[in-house]
Structure 1
Amino acid sequence: MTGRVFHTSDWHLGRQIGRHRRDAEFDAVLAEIVEIAADFRPDLIVHSGDLFDSSRPGLDDIVRAAQTLRRLEQVAPVVVVAGNHDTRNVLTFLEFILNDMGRQDRTQARVRFATDARPDGLLIAEYPAADGESTIRIGALPYLHPNRFAYDFADPATATAAYAERMRAVQADVHQRLTSGARPDHLLVFAAHLFVEGAVPSRSEKPISIADDYAVVAGALPGVVYGALGHIHKPQAITSAPFPAYYAGSPLQLDFGEINDTKSVVLAEIAPGREPRITTEPLTSGRRLVKLEGTLDEIAQRAGRVGDAWVKAVVKAEASNPHLGETLQKMLPEATLVIIDEIRPGAANRVLDRSAAAEELPGVDELLRSYLDDRGTSGVGLDRVMAAFGALCDEPDPEAPSPCCEETLLSAAIAGSGLDGIDRSGLLTAIPSPEGVR
């Protein structure tokens, strides 16, 4: 008796890199995922959470998800677990669209969504394996925000317990429902979107969601034949779990913390009473993320090997270079410069006390450049903005003429200095004569 599970996760549709959308890359990697799934011929496809990057995804990303799930359901039934970036309303709408506008029986739908972790809302489903002898029985646990325990679960004691302890009780409930009524031919699969103790994050996840207080003890996970985990973007096995459990990871490198990660999907052949056969199939679609660090000369030596990639450049320089973005772009004609950091000796420890070191204060142009760079404007675009700013600074302001004599006189009177020290020669000629006063 064997069953096949195809495991993918954390698509994060809509995720940008800097200010750049990655629609073409997502289309390519999703097509690759569908192709691998078709070749594997699984009995069940599991997506373990975070279909989208935003809780309010754009229409293009909703359509992209719907079309891909429709293609996957033609390969095998699909179970999608809600992640911390997903919202119940969006996934319910997707289910409505994929379920023939609500005309099909939800329990018979080819794509089902696990969005509720409450006991009466948990998704426990069965799917027959192709061998005709076994059935895959899956229990799915969507992401649970710590605040949800205060109003979604009846036991008051869970409101003050540590997150990991509360999750242990929820997992125990999933396990109890998963195993209740299970037959010898059932292959039990646990799918969840959560941070398991011992997992290695890529640091492209939301920092608060991978804090130590949110780490679930691996030993508390239900003892099943395969665990399909989501939430961590780095593909990996959780060796401390009492059963084979894997993070499929994100299909694209999502930021420069993942430049060394090889993205993949998981192919699991499972059977009762023996270790599953696990294969991770690499994904090759998408542009590379490259970090270049050094002086301009050192970066120039590596530039020829970069090619078509997203690039973060950390440039060590003795002095500020107003045309740094343009210079780098000429070195890297096929690449897209996402981040440019200019590192100068002593710049990080600059004294900002004017009385102590006036010459060390950054100028307005330098402050503006730093601000724009932090806000995502970099490269050639940043150079053009700074050039325009410089041109504006050089132009006289027609709305701010030199102070007239009356203004000078009034300012002196307010200051209590009288007319001492004021040049009266021009002042007297500018004051109207008594004849001119009405």
Structure 2
Amino acid sequence: MTGRVFHTSDWHLGRQIGRHSRDTETDAVLDEITEIAADFNPDLIVHSGDLFDSPRPGLDDIRRAAQALRRLGEIAPVVVVAGNHDTPNVLAFTQFILTDAGTRPDAQTRVRFATDARPDQLLLAEYPAQQGELTLRIGAMPYLHPNRFSYDFTNPALMTATYAERMRTVQTDIHHRLAQGRGARDILVFAAHLFVEGTTPSYSERRISVTDDYAAAPADLPLVDYGALGHIHKPQAVTRAVFPARYAGSPLQMDFGESGETKSVVLAEIGPNTAPRIDTVPLTSGRRLIRLEGTLEEIEQRAARIGDAWVKVVVSVDEPSPFLASALAKMLPKATLVDIDERRAQTTSPALSRETSTTELPSIEDLLRDYLPGRGTTGRALDHAMAAFADLRDDPDLDVPTPCCEEDLLTAAIAGQPLDGIDHSRLLPGTGTTEAETTR
């Protein structure tokens, strides 16, 4: 006898490539995910975070999420973990749509959202398996922002601990609650949105959130029967964990750093007295992301094999050509040209076409990281300033009455003001939090 868990993650609804919408292929891959889930006939479906790409998604994407989750909820109960791109208010509104403005309370029991990791708010749930008398018990931990860590610590010393140390305490507490009163036929599932040390990011994730400072140790993961993890877009097993734990990964290639990655969903069959069976099923609905590099003649030789794809082209040329974009469009009639670069000796310049391309501008994070060292912000101070910026962007609706030390640092650095008045020593290692804040 086994319990069946269907695991998907990191949909990032609303994600675009340049100015190009991905709605059509997103709808196709959500249909594919639903079909695979229906064929597998699971006892529980887990979405391990980042339902949306933006903390303020458009109404179309919220409706798309609600429709997809409703279809999955008709197959089996669904648990959705809040990721670092998700906000509690948006997920609450998504559930409001799912329940038809509160007129269908049954929908709330079929699709549940985990948005709080505090002991009195933690999502712990039990679901009976279809085979025999097995019960799946799930503990769901949403993403915990390093600078907005909210948890009830009984040990005051942990208020000044590193992020990894505090994560260890939270996960230990979750495991204790999950395993309390466990019977011989109970299957334990841990669902979380976090970065585990030693795993391989795709780097289409927010880079500040996949650094060693904000990593959880594999040995600290709760000892369960299956770990359904989200946050890393590359599908992979957590090989250093002592139990089956996997990142389902994103269902679409998110950027050109993921070219060649095969996306998938995870099918887990777990029993109390049998070896677990963990399978992955490839997803084929998404368009490939392909980078073509070489001379125009070399690219032409490869063009016939490209077909329908998102394409970034880097062309080696002797002289700039005003007709490069149109020539490439003829070579790649089924592809969407996202970016075209002309590369000459010691120079690089974009060749743009309104119809076929868009320039990939540096992100605000990259510009800020390049700018701040010139204003005297380097080393750990730079890391903390960038972490503060990331969290301010991730939590646009968060009410923070008193700016934290990192925010003072970031504001002063951008304004070019002296940093002598900022007490860097008050920053707690690895937490992005000041000692004064922890006593509030």
Asked whether the two chains share a fold, i.e. TM above 0.5, the reply is yes
Structure 1 residues 35 and 305: CA distance shift in structure 2, 3 A? same
Q: How far apart are residue 305 of structure 1 and its match? A: 1.0
Could you tell me which residue of structure 2 aligns to residue 378 of structure 1?
352
Alpha carbons 2:79, 2:114 under 8 Å: kept: yes
Matched ranges for 1:312-323 at <5 A: 312-323=312-323
Structure 1 CA distance for aligned equivalents of residues 290 and 148 of structure 2: 39
For 1:215 and 1:107, the matched residues in 2 are separated by 35
Aligned counterparts of 1:382 and 1:292: Cα–Cα separation in 2: 15
The percent of aligned pairs where both chains have the same amino acid is: 68
Q: Which residue of 2 aligns with 1:236?
A: 236
User: RMSD in angstroms over aligned alpha carbons?
Assistant: 2.0
- Report if aligned partners of 2:338, 2:356 keep a CA contact under 8 Å in 1: no
Query: Is 2:201 the counterpart of 1:227?
Result: no
Q: Secondary structure at 1:267's aligned position in 2? A: strand
Cα distance, 1:203 vs structure 2: 1.1
Tell me how far 1:276 sits from its aligned partner: 0.8
For the 8 Å contact 2:63–2:94, the answer to whether it is kept is: no
* 1:19 and 2:19 matched: yes
**TM-score, length-normalised on structure 2?**
0.78
Matching residue of 1:332: 332
Deviations 1:109-154 (A, max 9, x none): 10000000111110000000001310000000000001122x5445
Written as runs of structure 1 = structure 2, the 5 A alignment for 1:77-92 is 77-92=77-92
Residue of structure 1 in register with 2:284 after alignment = 284
Query: For residue 272 of structure 2, what is the aligned residue in structure 1?
Result: 272
Structure 1 window deviating more from structure 2 (275-284 vs 159-168): it is: 159-168
User: Runs of 5+ in structure 2 lacking a partner?
Assistant: 360-440
**Does the CA contact (< 8 Å) of 1:329 and 1:379 recur in 2?**
no
**Once the 2 structures are TM-superposed, how far is the Cα of residue 273 of structure 1 from its aligned partner?**
3.9
Partner of 1:55: 55
User: Where do 4+ consecutive residues of structure 1 move more than 6 Å?
Assistant: 382-385
User: 2:67: which partner in 1?
Assistant: 67
TM (norm. structure 1) is: 0.78
Rounded Cα–Cα distance in structure 2 between residues aligned with 1:120 and 1:383:
51
Q: Secondary structure at the match of 2:330?
A: helix
Q: Per-residue deviation at 1:108?
A: 6.5
User: 1:382 Cα deviation (Å)?
Assistant: 8.2
Separation in 2, partners of 1:86, 1:42: 25
Q: Distance in 2 between matches of 1:186 and 1:226?
A: 12
- Cα 1:107–1:256 shift into 2, 3 Å: closer
1:342-383 Cα offsets, whole Å, 9 max, x none, are 2111226xxxxxxxxxxxxxxxxxxxxx5xx5xxx9335489
- Give, in whole Å, the separation in 2 of the partners of 1:124 and 1:310: 41
The size of the alignment, in residue pairs, is 358
Between 1:81-90 and 1:325-334, the stretch displaced more is 325-334
Alpha-carbon separation, structure 2, partners of 1:101 and 1:231: 30
State the alpha-carbon separation in 2 of the partners of residues 213 and 143 from structure 1: 15
- Distance in structure 1 (CA, Å) of the matches to 2:199 and 2:286: 25
| Correspondences of 1:108-257 after superposition (within 5 Å) | 109-149=109-149, 151-154=150-153, 156-257=156-257
Q: Once the 2 structures are TM-superposed, how far is the Cα of residue 105 of structure 1 from its aligned partner?
A: 5.7
User: Which residue number in structure 2 is paired with residue 361 of structure 1?
Assistant: none
Distance 1:326 1:273, change over 3 A: same
Give the greater-gyration-radius structure (CA): 1
- Cα 1:333/1:272, change in 2 over 3 Å: same
